[in-house]
Amino acid sequence: MPEKLKKMIGVLILVCSIGGVSCVGALGPSLDRITEGSSGSKAKVVK
Amino acid sequence: MNGPKRGGAKKYNPDDTRRMPQSRAFLLYLLPMPMLFLALWRMLGGNGGSAFGFAAGFALCMLAATLVRKGVGIESEAKRRKIVRRSSTVPYKVIGAGVLGVAIFLSALMGAGIPMFSSLMLGLASVVGCVFVYGTDPSRNSPDMSAIGVTSEEVLEILNEADTKILAIEAARDRIHNVELKDRLKNITKGVREIMGIVEDDPRDLRRARKFLRTYLDGAQRVTEGYADTHSYGDDGELEDNFRNVLGTIERVIEEQKGKLLENNLTELDVQIEVLQLQLEKEGV
């Protein structure tokens, strides 16, 4: 694998893994609410 | 109009042994920054476990970045000097990648609440990413220094000191206006760099070049700086003649040093250096 391509892939992996953890950490509660809402398991019935 | 002016663009010099720009593992310091804010945010929100996960992850990421940076620095120096530090037996980059993996695993699992398997995968991915970007540590294929009576740290220390002295001589040279003297000083620094190159190629020569690179080069630096300082107050014929004599002696000794290094003759050169030292003191430039 060419060195430059390897570095680019490495940077992409680092950005995705480190950035991903931060994103999930920041958006976690919001994501929970969305998934809970879409699954309907805890959806409230509005009369 | 007539060539580059002082303070303008610097001329390209392939022999310049000043520190090359190198990767500083900037990415590894930058990417985990949001974790610090997340730790504070979670702490203010009363979520202690998550705050601890992000704080521990952030601290470990900084440790990993520092280790990788040290590894990158050692590799860069090894490339520049052809000599690998003895301390590079510690694989800083690999350890840094491992610490980064643990940091990401911890912050994913405890901080972000990501399931165990996914956290493990994220940790492994960051290790792979780190190795892809920064590589692994260089192997020690330089001569075994302990077998020749000097350590690689000693060689690097003396070469770095010599580099500093050369830079000081070059800085003093810039303050001298006489073209002939400037050219001679340029040849002198070039000669010293050649001697440094010989030592880099075969560190055993350090035993012979140590005195030259430490004591004698120090004398050359002081004389040049002294002349540049005094010269700025006005021209003095006697001073200039003395300085010319000293430069001539320095040039001769550099040539002899190079020759002797190649011939592996120790004693005679030591005597000559001592004689030259006495002459430098006597000339009192």
Return the pLDDT at A34: 63
Contacts 24+ apart (CB under 8 A), B240-246: B240/B178, B240/B181, B242/B283, B242/B284, B242/B285, B243/B181, B243/B285, B244/B181, B245/B283, B246/B279, B246/B280, B246/B283, B246/B285
- Which residue from A7, A15, A28 is facing B112, i.e. has the nearest CB? A28
Please check whether residue B101 touches A, CB under 8 A: no
- Which residue from B104, B113, B125 is facing A28, i.e. has the nearest CB? B113
Q: Which chain A residue has its CA at the smallest distance from B123's CA?
A: A17
Confidence of residue B247 (pLDDT cuts 50, 70, 90): confident
- Count of beta carbons in the 10 Å neighbourhood of residue B268: 11
| CA-wise closest residue to B19 among B156, B199, B146, B190 | B156
When scoring B114, B132, B134 by the number of chain A Cβ atoms within 10 A, the one with the most, hence best to mutate, is: B132
Å from B163 to nearest chain A CA?
31
Please give the DSSP secondary-structure letter assigned to residue B88. G
Please check whether residue B219 touches A, CB under 8 A: no
Residue A46 pLDDT more than 90? no
Alpha helix stretches (DSSP H) within chain B = 26-30, 33-44, 48-81, 92-106, 116-134, 152-175, 179-201, 206-211, 217-231, 237-263, 267-283
Return the pLDDT at B80: 72
Please check whether residue B34 touches A, CB under 8 A: yes
Mean pLDDT of B29-46: 89
- The values of phi and psi at residue B7, to 5°, are 90, -5
Return the pLDDT at B14: 44
Contact A10 B131 (CB under 8 A): yes
Residues of chain A contacting residue B27, judged by C-beta atoms under 8 Å apart: 11, 14
What does the angle CA B68 – CA B71 – CA B75 come to, to the nearest 5 degrees? 140
Q: Which residues of B243-263 are buried (b: 16+ CB within 10 A; e: fewer)?
A: beebbebbeebbebbbebbee
Positive or negative: CA dihedral B260, B266, B271, B275? positive
Contact B107, B35 (CB under 8 A): yes
Residue B278 pLDDT more than 70? yes
Please check whether residue A26 touches B, CB under 8 A: yes
Return the pLDDT at B15: 43
ipTM, 2 dp: 0.72
Contact B84, B140 (CB under 8 A): yes
Residue B85 backbone class (left: φ over 0; alpha: ψ -120 to 50; beta: rest): beta
When scoring B26, B30, B31, B107 by the number of chain A Cβ atoms within 10 A, the one with the most, hence best to mutate, is: B31
Contact A28 B104 (CB under 8 A): no
- Which residue from B54, B111, B125 is facing A13, i.e. has the nearest CB? B125
Please give the DSSP secondary-structure letter assigned to residue B205. G
- Distance, CA of B213 to CA of B103 (rounded, Å): 45
Contact B38 A22 (CB under 8 A): yes
Please check whether residue A9 touches B, CB under 8 A: yes
Confidence of residue B221 (pLDDT cuts 50, 70, 90): confident
What does the angle CA B64 – CA B26 – CA B101 come to, to the nearest 5 degrees? 30
Please check whether residue B110 touches A, CB under 8 A: no
- Look-up of token digits 């309907």: A40
- Distance, CA of B101 to CA of B119 (rounded, Å): 10
B117-121, B154-158, B263-267: least confident range = B263-267
Confidence of residue B96 (pLDDT cuts 50, 70, 90): very high
B115-119, B147-151, B174-178: least confident range = B147-151
Residue A40 pLDDT more than 70? no
- Which residue from A6, A18, A24 is facing B31, i.e. has the nearest CB? A18
Predicted TM-score (pTM) of this structure: 0.57
User: How much of chain B, in percent, has pLDDT values that exceed 70?
Assistant: 79
- Distance, CA of B59 to CA of B39 (rounded, Å): 11
When scoring B58, B126, B128 by the number of chain A Cβ atoms within 10 A, the one with the most, hence best to mutate, is: B126
- Distance, CA of B55 to CA of A37 (rounded, Å): 30
- Count of beta carbons in the 10 Å neighbourhood of residue B283: 15
Residue B8 pLDDT more than 80? no
What type of residue is B70? K
Most confident of B22-31, B57-66, B79-88: B57-66
Please check whether residue A14 touches B, CB under 8 A: yes
Please check whether residue B108 touches A, CB under 8 A: yes
